[in-house]
Structure 1
Amino acid sequence: MIYFFVGFEQVAQSFSDKEKWMTLQVKVDSIHSVQYNQKPKVYSFNPNFISDYKGYKLGMSVEEIDRLLSFRKQNKYVNSAEEFQEVTKVSDSLLKVISPFFKFPDWIQNKPSFKSERKEYAQKTDFKKEKIKVLDINQATQEDLIKIYGIGEALSLRILKQKEILGCFVSMEQLNEIWGLSPQVLVELNSHFKTVVPSDFRKIAINDASLKELSQFSYFKYALAKQIVTYRSMNGNFENIEDLSKIKGFPVEKAKIISLYLEF
């Protein structure tokens, strides 16, 4: 009979090492499996600064990357996903995948749309031009005046009151004398109105008018009216506005408009 002696401690140690190795292998395989199935995380980025490697990782072709780099060499920037596609010519499908990660500066994202504002302003202007025809300012109603942007109830009544005081407007320049009308509103008024002196408008006979009649004229104060009457009685009739402007205190800067109210 032959006896074999087996080192059970050695066998046990062998099985123990193998068990450890198997356990470690399972962990490694598990990590590989997770890494294989997990998609790489993509962080937000400014597409203006995509490098060759970054573009390759995003799925862009060499030509598409080169187009972007050439564009940037001109010191130009893309400010939206649409502009990025216009420059690089990437496909719609690729743009759909990568554009959610685009991050542009806050000032670009929050900047007002000047094109839309200009378009809206143009539409408003066209609307007003369609609604308002060029009218005689002396025939304008309060409703006509309020249609002008910048004129409300108060200003429209002020214009009508001034027309009543003067009898009529003889020049659109007289609107400059009305308090509260801004330069922009005056431009609009001149674009939509004109002056037409009524055929029955009665002018002031400067050589026959009484002191009371002259002093009631909007452009003459009582003191000036008195001097006109005195000058007339001492020197005879006025031949023209130049003669009248020789009177002390006469508003020479308004001589042209005043002459349209007078009859010599």
Structure 2
Amino acid sequence: MKRLLNAIRDQFELTHNEAKSALLFFVIILVNLLLYYSYSAYTVNEQSEILIEDYGKTEIPESEERKSNWVDYGSSYKKSAKKVERFSFDPNVATNEQFERLGFPKYLAKTIINYRSKGGKFKYKEDLLKIYSMKPELYADIENLVSLPSKLDKKTPDFDEHRVIAEEKPAFAPKKTFTISKFDINTADTTQLMQIKGIGKVFASRIIKYRDILGGFHSIDQVGETYGLDPTVLPELKKYAVLNTKVKKIRINDLENFRHPYLRYNQVKVIVAYRKQHGNFRNTEDLKQIKILDEATISKIEPYLEF
């Protein structure tokens, strides 16, 4: 189950809770499908039993047109078998009259001649069996009269019929090994980020958006603050990501208003009001005088402040 959850999470780039919800959703759908088909099968069987009990045996009436077009090929062959002659023949050149003398029904003789007129050719005796409606018992009677070789007598393969084109299999190209070059996390695009295992298109976009709101990362660990990102991605990211570009600073003593993810709206208002009452801030120690700011918040915002 854990492997399945991890597979769903990696495939669709979901959080652990989102993956669990998706799996539960799929299970509910599967159970509903099984119930639906079970019920359908039961109702169909029940209806079939009712129909059989009520109506018994039924016959589909055969249309008059079908009856009139029906030809009893078996009886036709039996009638002609009484008047057959025995002589060698080549099915590639035999005439309609010759076929009938050999015991071929008229429809079958006509079928063979039509086949030849369209370019068909008999190379072996057994090729006659490819003709539609050629009955095995008729073929058994005339097999020895056909002046063509048999496939069973072949000593060499028939390259016309079973031609095998031997193509040399291309050698498998060596598997490409992708080498990831180190990149600046503060200027990287989605393509560079997606080289890291566990970062797809969605998370690459989220990382860049969060980076821009922050004003840049001053530590690779900050990437782990991206919403929904698996913490196991960070160790792999640290192998290739570097910090070559500095973060954007907030000139805290000059701005009347500013925004930052580490500060709430009311905290920014208090900072500006305190500065107006007590003068410019000299360092982060002055910020500690503001009761609404705790040390953890000051520590997080410090790299982005310029006094």
| TM-score bin (small chain) | 0.3 to 0.5
Q: Choose between structure 1 and 2: higher helix proportion.
A: 1
Q: Under a length normalisation based on structure 2, what TM-score does the superposition of the two structures give?
A: 0.40
